Protein backbone atom coordinates (compact mmCIF):
# COMPACT_ATOMS: atom_id res chain seq x y z
CA UNK A 1 0.00 0.00 0.00
CA UNK A 2 1.28 3.48 -0.87
CA UNK A 3 1.48 5.91 2.03
CA UNK A 4 1.17 9.54 1.01
CA UNK A 5 0.54 12.41 3.42
CA UNK A 6 -2.98 13.86 3.05
CA UNK A 7 -3.04 17.30 1.40
CA UNK A 8 -4.53 18.84 4.56
CA UNK A 9 -1.49 17.80 6.60
CA UNK A 10 0.92 19.07 3.95
CA UNK A 11 -0.87 22.43 3.80
CA UNK A 12 -0.92 22.79 7.58
CA UNK A 13 2.78 22.01 7.91
CA UNK A 14 3.46 24.57 5.20
CA UNK A 15 1.69 27.37 7.08
CA UNK A 16 4.66 27.92 9.37
CA UNK A 17 8.33 28.20 8.47
CA UNK A 18 9.48 24.70 7.52
CA UNK A 19 12.29 23.51 9.77
CA UNK A 20 14.74 20.87 8.60
CA UNK A 21 13.41 18.19 10.94
CA UNK A 22 9.82 18.63 9.76
CA UNK A 23 10.81 18.66 6.10
CA UNK A 24 12.81 15.48 6.60
CA UNK A 25 9.92 13.86 8.47
CA UNK A 26 7.48 14.70 5.69
CA UNK A 27 9.81 13.42 2.98
CA UNK A 28 10.41 10.18 4.86
CA UNK A 29 6.78 9.69 5.91
CA UNK A 30 6.02 6.73 3.58
CA UNK A 31 9.11 4.94 4.87
CA UNK A 32 8.31 5.82 8.49
CA UNK A 33 4.80 4.41 8.15
CA UNK A 34 6.02 1.17 6.61
CA UNK A 35 8.62 0.72 9.36
CA UNK A 36 6.13 1.49 12.15
CA UNK A 37 3.58 -0.94 10.70
CA UNK A 38 6.14 -3.73 10.28
CA UNK A 39 7.63 -3.24 13.76
CA UNK A 40 4.24 -3.62 15.40
CA UNK A 41 3.00 -6.33 13.01
CA UNK A 42 -0.05 -4.29 12.04
CA UNK A 43 -2.52 -4.74 9.23
CA UNK A 44 -3.32 -1.46 7.49
CA UNK A 45 -6.91 -0.65 6.59
CA UNK A 46 -6.51 2.90 5.29
CA UNK A 47 -5.06 6.33 5.87
CA UNK A 48 -7.58 8.67 7.51
CA UNK A 49 -8.54 11.43 5.06
CA UNK A 50 -8.71 14.38 5.34
CA UNK A 51 -7.05 13.56 8.65
CA UNK A 52 -5.53 16.03 11.05
CA UNK A 53 -3.49 19.19 10.63
CA UNK A 54 -0.62 18.00 12.83
CA UNK A 55 -0.30 14.22 12.35
CA UNK A 56 -0.86 11.32 10.01
CA UNK A 57 -3.58 8.93 11.16
CA UNK A 58 -3.61 5.35 9.87
CA UNK A 59 -6.44 2.95 10.69
CA UNK A 60 -4.93 -0.44 11.49
CA UNK A 61 -5.54 -3.77 13.18
CA UNK A 62 -3.12 -5.34 15.64
CA UNK A 63 -1.86 -8.89 15.36
CA UNK A 64 -4.72 -9.83 17.75
CA UNK A 65 -7.12 -8.24 15.20
CA UNK A 66 -7.94 -5.35 17.53
CA UNK A 67 -8.89 -2.14 15.68
CA UNK A 68 -6.47 0.66 16.50
CA UNK A 69 -5.00 3.92 15.21
CA UNK A 70 -1.37 4.43 14.32
CA UNK A 71 -0.41 8.08 14.68
CA UNK A 72 2.74 9.64 13.28
CA UNK A 73 3.52 13.09 14.62
CA UNK A 74 6.22 15.44 13.26
CA UNK A 75 8.97 16.50 15.70
CA UNK A 76 7.77 20.08 16.06
CA UNK A 77 4.37 18.87 17.30
CA UNK A 78 6.00 17.32 20.36
CA UNK A 79 5.07 13.63 19.92
CA UNK A 80 6.84 12.62 23.15
CA UNK A 81 4.77 15.13 25.11
CA UNK A 82 1.54 13.92 23.49
CA UNK A 83 2.34 10.32 24.30
CA UNK A 84 3.36 11.17 27.88
CA UNK A 85 0.05 12.92 28.50
CA UNK A 86 -1.99 10.04 27.12
CA UNK A 87 0.01 7.56 29.21
CA UNK A 88 -0.60 9.67 32.32
CA UNK A 89 -4.35 9.86 31.69
CA UNK A 90 -4.42 6.09 31.29
CA UNK A 91 -7.55 6.07 29.18
CA UNK A 92 -9.58 8.21 31.61
CA UNK A 93 -11.16 10.94 29.51
CA UNK A 94 -8.86 10.31 26.56
CA UNK A 95 -8.14 7.54 24.07
CA UNK A 96 -6.01 4.79 25.59
CA UNK A 97 -2.36 4.44 24.59
CA UNK A 98 -1.79 0.89 23.33
CA UNK A 99 1.98 0.65 23.10
CA UNK A 100 5.09 1.98 24.76
CA UNK A 101 7.20 2.33 21.65
CA UNK A 102 9.13 5.59 21.87
CA UNK A 103 10.85 5.43 18.50
CA UNK A 104 12.34 8.51 16.90
CA UNK A 105 9.72 8.34 14.14
CA UNK A 106 7.08 9.99 16.35
CA UNK A 107 4.74 7.01 15.91
CA UNK A 108 2.51 5.43 18.52
CA UNK A 109 -0.57 3.23 18.71
CA UNK A 110 -3.84 4.30 20.34
CA UNK A 111 -7.33 2.99 20.89
CA UNK A 112 -9.56 3.45 17.86
CA UNK A 113 -12.57 5.68 18.33
CA UNK A 114 -15.38 6.58 15.93
CA UNK A 115 -13.49 9.32 14.12
CA UNK A 116 -16.49 10.39 12.07
CA UNK A 117 -18.66 11.03 15.14
CA UNK A 118 -17.67 13.91 17.43
CA UNK A 119 -19.74 15.79 19.99
CA UNK A 120 -20.25 18.44 17.30
CA UNK A 121 -22.92 16.08 15.92
CA UNK A 122 -25.07 16.80 18.99
CA UNK A 123 -27.30 19.85 19.50
CA UNK A 124 -25.21 22.74 20.77
CA UNK A 125 -26.32 22.70 24.41
CA UNK A 126 -25.78 18.95 24.69
CA UNK A 127 -22.46 19.07 22.84
CA UNK A 128 -21.11 21.73 25.21
CA UNK A 129 -22.23 19.71 28.22
CA UNK A 130 -20.56 16.52 27.00
CA UNK A 131 -17.39 18.30 25.91
CA UNK A 132 -17.05 20.09 29.24
CA UNK A 133 -17.56 16.84 31.14
CA UNK A 134 -14.83 15.16 29.11
CA UNK A 135 -12.46 18.06 29.66
CA UNK A 136 -12.96 17.98 33.42
CA UNK A 137 -11.73 14.37 33.56
CA UNK A 138 -8.44 15.37 31.94
CA UNK A 139 -7.57 17.97 34.56
CA UNK A 140 -5.30 15.97 36.84
CA UNK A 141 -2.02 16.83 38.56
CA UNK A 142 0.93 16.26 36.21
CA UNK A 143 3.38 13.47 37.03
CA UNK A 144 6.29 14.28 39.34
CA UNK A 145 9.28 15.63 37.46
CA UNK A 146 7.26 16.21 34.31
CA UNK A 147 8.71 18.00 31.32
CA UNK A 148 5.49 19.39 29.89
CA UNK A 149 5.48 22.96 28.64
CA UNK A 150 3.77 25.48 30.91
CA UNK A 151 1.07 27.96 29.93
CA UNK A 152 3.50 30.81 30.63
CA UNK A 153 6.10 29.30 28.29
CA UNK A 154 3.69 28.57 25.46
CA UNK A 155 1.90 31.89 25.57
CA UNK A 156 5.25 33.67 25.85
CA UNK A 157 6.24 32.40 22.41
CA UNK A 158 2.82 33.25 21.07
CA UNK A 159 2.93 36.73 22.58
CA UNK A 160 6.23 37.46 20.83
CA UNK A 161 4.69 36.50 17.47
CA UNK A 162 1.56 38.56 18.17
CA UNK A 163 3.59 41.63 19.09
CA UNK A 164 5.15 41.56 15.62
CA UNK A 165 1.74 42.04 13.96
CA UNK A 166 1.85 45.29 12.00
CA UNK A 167 -1.81 45.47 10.91
CA UNK A 168 -3.09 48.80 12.32
CA UNK A 169 -6.70 47.56 12.56
CA UNK A 170 -5.61 44.58 14.63
CA UNK A 171 -3.18 46.34 16.98
CA UNK A 172 -5.81 47.39 19.57
CA UNK A 173 -6.97 43.77 19.95
CA UNK A 174 -3.38 42.54 20.15
CA UNK A 175 -2.61 45.10 22.86
CA UNK A 176 -5.70 44.07 24.82
CA UNK A 177 -4.82 40.37 24.51
CA UNK A 178 -1.23 40.90 25.62
CA UNK A 179 -2.37 43.00 28.56
CA UNK A 180 -4.84 40.27 29.56
CA UNK A 181 -2.06 37.67 29.49
CA UNK A 182 0.21 39.82 31.65
CA UNK A 183 -2.58 40.30 34.18
CA UNK A 184 -3.50 36.61 34.25
CA UNK A 185 0.07 35.42 34.69
CA UNK A 186 0.66 38.06 37.34
CA UNK A 187 -2.04 36.65 39.59
CA UNK A 188 -2.82 33.20 40.95
CA UNK A 189 -6.21 31.61 40.24
CA UNK A 190 -8.29 30.56 43.21
CA UNK A 191 -8.71 26.85 43.89
CA UNK A 192 -6.56 23.79 43.23
CA UNK A 193 -6.68 23.90 39.42
CA UNK A 194 -3.78 26.31 38.87
CA UNK A 195 -1.17 23.73 37.81
CA UNK A 196 -2.88 20.73 36.25
CA UNK A 197 -2.27 18.80 33.07
CA UNK A 198 -4.32 20.36 30.27
CA UNK A 199 -5.32 19.04 26.87
CA UNK A 200 -3.95 22.22 25.30
CA UNK A 201 -5.99 22.29 22.09
CA UNK A 202 -9.40 21.14 23.28
CA UNK A 203 -12.51 21.68 21.18
CA UNK A 204 -15.62 19.74 20.27
CA UNK A 205 -14.05 18.06 17.23
CA UNK A 206 -11.43 16.56 19.57
CA UNK A 207 -14.09 14.59 21.46
CA UNK A 208 -15.04 11.40 19.64
CA UNK A 209 -17.57 8.64 20.23
CA UNK A 210 -16.09 5.52 21.85
CA UNK A 211 -17.09 1.98 22.79
CA UNK A 212 -16.12 1.72 26.46
CA UNK A 213 -17.49 5.16 27.37
CA UNK A 214 -19.63 7.53 25.30
CA UNK A 215 -16.93 10.15 24.58
CA UNK A 216 -13.13 10.39 24.72
CA UNK A 217 -10.67 13.11 23.79
CA UNK A 218 -7.93 12.78 21.18
CA UNK A 219 -5.07 14.85 19.78
CA UNK A 220 -3.75 16.73 22.82
CA UNK A 221 -0.97 19.30 22.72
CA UNK A 222 -0.47 19.07 26.49
CA UNK A 223 0.51 21.95 28.69
CA UNK A 224 0.52 22.53 32.45
CA UNK A 225 -1.37 25.46 33.90
CA UNK A 226 -4.76 26.71 35.01
CA UNK A 227 -8.02 25.17 33.86
CA UNK A 228 -9.37 28.42 32.40
CA UNK A 229 -6.68 28.31 29.70
CA UNK A 230 -7.94 24.93 28.46
CA UNK A 231 -11.58 25.91 28.64
CA UNK A 232 -10.98 29.11 26.67
CA UNK A 233 -10.69 27.28 23.36
CA UNK A 234 -14.05 25.61 23.91
CA UNK A 235 -15.77 28.99 24.36
CA UNK A 236 -15.30 29.87 20.71
CA UNK A 237 -16.40 26.51 19.31
CA UNK A 238 -18.70 26.87 16.28
CA UNK A 239 -17.44 30.44 15.93
CA UNK A 240 -18.83 30.65 12.40
CA UNK A 241 -22.34 30.05 13.81
CA UNK A 242 -21.81 32.66 16.51
CA UNK A 243 -20.72 35.28 13.97
CA UNK A 244 -23.75 34.51 11.79
CA UNK A 245 -26.11 35.06 14.73
CA UNK A 246 -27.37 38.63 15.31
CA UNK A 247 -27.12 38.03 19.05
CA UNK A 248 -23.69 36.37 18.79
CA UNK A 249 -22.01 38.75 21.24
CA UNK A 250 -24.63 38.09 23.89
CA UNK A 251 -24.52 34.36 23.28
CA UNK A 252 -20.75 34.40 23.70
CA UNK A 253 -20.91 36.24 27.02
CA UNK A 254 -23.54 33.81 28.30
CA UNK A 255 -21.41 30.88 27.15
CA UNK A 256 -18.45 32.21 29.13
CA UNK A 257 -20.66 32.52 32.21
CA UNK A 258 -22.21 29.05 31.87
CA UNK A 259 -18.93 27.25 31.22
CA UNK A 260 -17.19 29.07 34.05
CA UNK A 261 -19.94 28.14 36.47
CA UNK A 262 -20.27 24.53 35.32
CA UNK A 263 -16.54 23.85 35.59
CA UNK A 264 -15.92 26.10 38.59
CA UNK A 265 -13.38 28.44 37.06
CA UNK A 266 -13.23 32.19 37.51
CA UNK A 267 -15.37 33.89 34.88
CA UNK A 268 -13.02 36.84 34.34
CA UNK A 269 -10.01 34.58 33.98
CA UNK A 270 -11.89 32.51 31.42
CA UNK A 271 -12.84 35.67 29.53
CA UNK A 272 -9.22 36.85 29.57
CA UNK A 273 -7.77 33.61 28.27
CA UNK A 274 -10.53 33.37 25.67
CA UNK A 275 -9.57 36.83 24.43
CA UNK A 276 -5.87 35.99 24.29
CA UNK A 277 -6.35 32.66 22.52
CA UNK A 278 -8.82 34.06 19.97
CA UNK A 279 -6.55 36.98 19.07
CA UNK A 280 -3.50 34.70 18.90
CA UNK A 281 -5.32 32.35 16.52
CA UNK A 282 -6.64 35.26 14.47
CA UNK A 283 -3.22 36.86 14.08
CA UNK A 284 -1.69 33.51 13.15
CA UNK A 285 -4.41 32.91 10.53
CA UNK A 286 -3.79 36.39 9.13
CA UNK A 287 -0.06 35.73 8.94
CA UNK A 288 -0.48 32.58 6.82
CA UNK A 289 -3.15 34.02 4.53
CA UNK A 290 -6.30 32.44 5.98
CA UNK A 291 -8.08 35.77 5.82
CA UNK A 292 -11.63 34.53 6.36
CA UNK A 293 -10.66 32.57 9.47
CA UNK A 294 -8.79 35.60 10.77
CA UNK A 295 -11.79 37.88 10.31
CA UNK A 296 -14.09 35.49 12.18
CA UNK A 297 -11.69 35.05 15.07
CA UNK A 298 -10.90 38.73 15.45
CA UNK A 299 -14.57 39.75 15.29
CA UNK A 300 -15.28 37.16 17.98
CA UNK A 301 -12.41 38.53 20.08
CA UNK A 302 -13.87 42.02 19.80
CA UNK A 303 -16.97 40.83 21.69
CA UNK A 304 -14.92 39.96 24.74
The CATH number of residue 69's host domain is: 3.30.200.20
Of 191, 211, 160, the C-alpha closest to 270 is 191
- Look at residue 124 in the predicted model and tell me its pLDDT: 86
pLDDT profile of the chain (304 residues), mean per 10:
71 67 81 90 86 81 94 83 94 91 75 93 91 95 93 96 91 96 89 84 95 94 96 94 90 94 94 98 92 95 95
Say whether both 178 and 267 belong to one domain.
Answer: yes
Domain boundary, last residue among 60, 91, 112: 112
Handedness of CA 157, 202, 210, 52 (dihedral sign): negative
Spatial distance between the Cα atoms of 302 and 275, rounded to a whole number of angstroms: 8
Say whether both 131 and 263 belong to one domain.
Answer: yes
- By CB atoms closer than 10 A (0-12, 13-18, 19+), residue 15 is middle
Say whether both 122 and 107 belong to one domain.
Answer: no
| 149 within a domain of the structure (yes/no) | yes
| 155 within a domain of the structure (yes/no) | yes
- Look at residue 55 in the predicted model and tell me its pLDDT: 81
| 2 within a domain of the structure (yes/no) | no
Residue span of the structural domain in which 19 resides: 7-112
Say whether both 183 and 36 belong to one domain.
Answer: no
How many domains, the chain?
2
Q: What is the pTM of this model?
A: 0.91
Return the axis-axis angle of helices 267-287 and 171-185, rounded to nearest 10°. Answer: 140
Say whether both 22 and 160 belong to one domain.
Answer: no
| 1 within a domain of the structure (yes/no) | no
- Count of residues making up the chain: 304
| 199 within a domain of the structure (yes/no) | yes
Handedness of CA 26, 27, 29, 30 (dihedral sign): positive
Spatial distance between the Cα atoms of 10 and 22, rounded to a whole number of angstroms: 11
Say whether both 101 and 143 belong to one domain.
Answer: no
- Look at residue 78 in the predicted model and tell me its pLDDT: 83
| 43 within a domain of the structure (yes/no) | yes
Say whether both 79 and 125 belong to one domain.
Answer: no
C-alpha triplet 233, 237, 242: angle, nearest 5°: 130
Amino acid sequence: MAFEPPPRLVRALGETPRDTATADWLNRLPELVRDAVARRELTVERVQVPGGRSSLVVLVRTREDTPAVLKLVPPRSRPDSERAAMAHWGGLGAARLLDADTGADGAYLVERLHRDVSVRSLPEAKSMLEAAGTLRRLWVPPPAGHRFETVAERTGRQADAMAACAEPDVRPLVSAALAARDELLGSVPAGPGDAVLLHGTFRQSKVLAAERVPWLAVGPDPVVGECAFDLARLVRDRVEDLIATPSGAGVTRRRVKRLAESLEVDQERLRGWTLFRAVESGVRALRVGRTQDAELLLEFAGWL
